[in-house]
Amino acid sequence: MRQFLTVVAFTLLTIGFFAAYSNYGIPQIEPAPPPKEEKLDLAAMSPEQFIALGERIFNGKGTCTLCHNELGRAPMLGNLADILPERLKDPRYKGAAEDLEAYLIESLIEPSAFVVAGFGKKGSNDAESPMPNVAGGSIGLAEAEVAAVVAYLQDSSGAEVTVEIPTDADAVEAEEEAEEREAITEPDLLMAKFTCPACHKINGQGGDVGPELSKIGASRDRAYLRRALLDPNGDIAEGFEADMMPDDLGEQMFVTELEVLLDFLTALK
């Protein structure tokens, strides 16, 4: 029996030594967790997840918060459910929607169907909206993504979420995918991507929330423009308000894109 116990103790000691060495003798490197699935599987999503996806798109890829924020560049959207009946009866309403879901989809695709008083394009007398079509152009949301945004808007304005999660649509690309994009080399595309004309007028096109840029190269040098892009609130042009321009362009743009944009702007004379 004594022999037996000695052998057992010896075995346990040996195994203990190996385990201790593996735990304390070598560095414990924690492997990266499995990468996130690149495609979101809509079919497997719960309504809550779908609404959360809409919120992420609203704050991120959709660039909605650029204007729909506390600064009053666009109407706030928290009370949509309450004002909808009134809205649909408004004589200025040019759309065909009969409920909130249809109305929201419509205003995302055709923003000019109804322009809230005071928020129209300058000079259009509130007939034309400065908002782009979110399904096209630089934002380019897929059908399912639009649906997700609508679900989020319904939910956040206190209405019942009536949007059905599309099951036959192609799976939506996940957030990380969306952010990994190619560097843009065409100034036009670049301006569209970062929605500069929404606020700045260039050669007669664009809003007037920010200074006109049609001849900016004549009055400002490259260093100033670089600073203005990276730190927009550092030096506000006369007659304009601070905190209107996004201050994270430096993080959103590739360095090469910044140079392309500066080349373009300094050449505007």
Q: Is 39 helix (H, G, I), strand (E, B) or coil?
A: strand
Q: Does residue number 250 form part of the binding site for another protein (CB under 8 A)?
A: no
76, 111, 157, 254: which one contacts another protein (CB under 8 A)?
Answer: 254
Q: How far is CA 197 from the centre of its chain?
A: 17
* Residue placing its CB nearer to another protein in the complex, 2 or 89: 2
CB of 10 to another protein, least distance (A): 6
Other CB atoms within 10 A of residue 187 CB: 18
8 Å CB contact between 172 and 40: yes
22 part of the interface to another protein, by CB under 8 A:
yes
- 34 belongs to the binding site for another protein (CB under 8 A): yes
Q: Is 71 helix (H, G, I), strand (E, B) or coil?
A: coil
CB of 186 to another protein, least distance (A): 13
Residue among 153 and 253 whose Cβ is closer to another protein? 253
The Cα-based distances of 188 to 136, 195, 231 in angstroms read 15, 10, 22
Question: CA-to-CA distance for 210 and 207, rounded, in angstroms?
Answer: 8
Q: Dig out the tokens for 52 from the structure.
A: 């959360």
Count of residues that interact with another protein, criterion CB under 8 A: 37
Among 247, 256, 263, 267, binds another protein (CB under 8 A): 256
Residues that bind another protein (CB under 8 A): 3-4, 7-8, 10-12, 14-16, 18-19, 21-35, 37, 41, 44, 180-183, 254-256
